[in-house]
Homo-oligomer: A and B are copies of this chain.
Amino acid sequence: MEPFLKHPLGPKMKERAKLDDLVISTRIRLARNLKDTVFSPVLSKESQHQLCQRVETSLGGLQGFEYLHMGTYDVVTRQALVEKHLISPTIAGKEESAVLLSEDETISVLINEEDHLRIQTLLPGYQVEEAFELAKRVDVLCGESLPYAYDEQLGYLTTCPSNIGTGLRASVMLHLPGLTLTGRITPILQELRKLGYTIRGRYGEGSDAAGRLFQLSNQRTLGSHESQLLTDFMEVTEQVIQAERQAREELLARNQDELEDQFYRSYGILRYAKLLSSTEAIERLSDLHLASDLGILSDWSPPQFHELIVKLQSGFLQKHFGKTLSTKERDRERATLVRRTLDHGLV
């Protein structure tokens, strides 16, 4: 477990990638179930345990993977893995669940999620096809030793009908400060929802879009072939990216002075505040990131945005400081960490 908590980003996530000024990361998820086992919602704790063991036996020996059983770890450790997007909140909340994690942190096979298996791949930047190919390779590997519940007409069978068919969900985490600051994000969100896409705050359902980070994913999984589904998804994503670029250009043309003022103020606050909530920290770091993208803070590189976002989440923060912290203590330590990070920055 330890290596996965040492750094906020896995080795692969630190690499520069296509469009990574706007697309923080790409994820592919395949929902799979075993035909010889009752589906998760009605699975007894005993059977959940057996399922974990069975997957461990089949796949646990894979080179370059580690098998982590959730029951072994405390709440904060699990939370930190959620914050890295290596596991889901559902898995984190279940004692009898596990994840098979690749050492480079690009592949997670979640066991006893809403479905028996959820194969997830995570890559930096905009890499939908690459993440899909990787997921398919893992899918084939899993399918060789585990009997999937598959229906010729319907496709892969899943617990929730919304996942039936391909079981495929593609998502991209987008940094959309331009659309947020111009207020254009609202109609775009509505439009995307009408088109059958889900777009929500960084940490999934119900959470705010802190730091102007949005997770866009497809809702339909049935009926389409995987390739059609991905093509549609990429088309929509690229439209959003295009709109974001336009919004940024307009912002710059219209309010350069005010933007500059806002960015420098965010820098000043990050550099001196003694208490910082996670939401505020991300939002102000988003300002710096945007300023750097727009060339406003031209002779200065902001701290690695994605890395800091993860580092400043409460689970990861508590792991970093090696102790449980109250909300206020977290706000204080978060501020300290940010100050230290910026110390050698802009003067």
Q: A residues bordering B, Cβ < 8 Å?
A: 257-258, 260-261, 264-265, 267-275, 328, 332, 335
Contact = CB atoms under 8 A, between A and B. Distances in A.
Nearest to A264: B272
A265 B260 CA distance: 18
Nearest to A271: B268
5 contacts: A265-B268, A267-B272, A268-B269, A268-B270, A268-B273
A270 B185 CA distance: 31
Contacts of A328: 257
Contact of A257 (B261, B268, B332): B332
Contacts of A270: 268
Contact of A268 (B260, B272, B332): B272
Cβ-closest 10 pairs across A and B: A268-B268, A268-B272, A261-B274, A264-B272, A261-B275, A268-B269, A260-B274, A265-B273, A265-B269, A264-B274
A273 B259 CA distance: 11
A264 B273 CA distance: 6
**How many copies of this chain are found per oligomer?**
2
Given A257-B332, A265-B269, 9 more contacts: A257-B275, A258-B275, A260-B274, A261-B273, A264-B273, A265-B268, A265-B273, A268-B270, A268-B273
A269 B273 CA distance: 10
> What does DSSP make chain A's interface, helix, strand, loop or mixed?
helix
A274 B265 CA distance: 8
A267 B268 CA distance: 8
A164 to B, nearest CB: 51
A218 to B, nearest CB: 41
A38 to B, nearest CB: 52
A270 B261 CA distance: 11
Contacts of A257: 274-275, 328, 332
A224 B280 CA distance: 57
A328 B260 CA distance: 13
A328 B261 CA distance: 12
A206 to B, nearest CB: 28
Contacts of A274: 257, 260-261, 264
A328 B332 CA distance: 35
A258 B331 CA distance: 11
A272 B267 CA distance: 7
Nearest to A267: B272
Contacts of A272: 264-265, 267-268, 271
A267 B271 CA distance: 10
A302 to B, nearest CB: 14
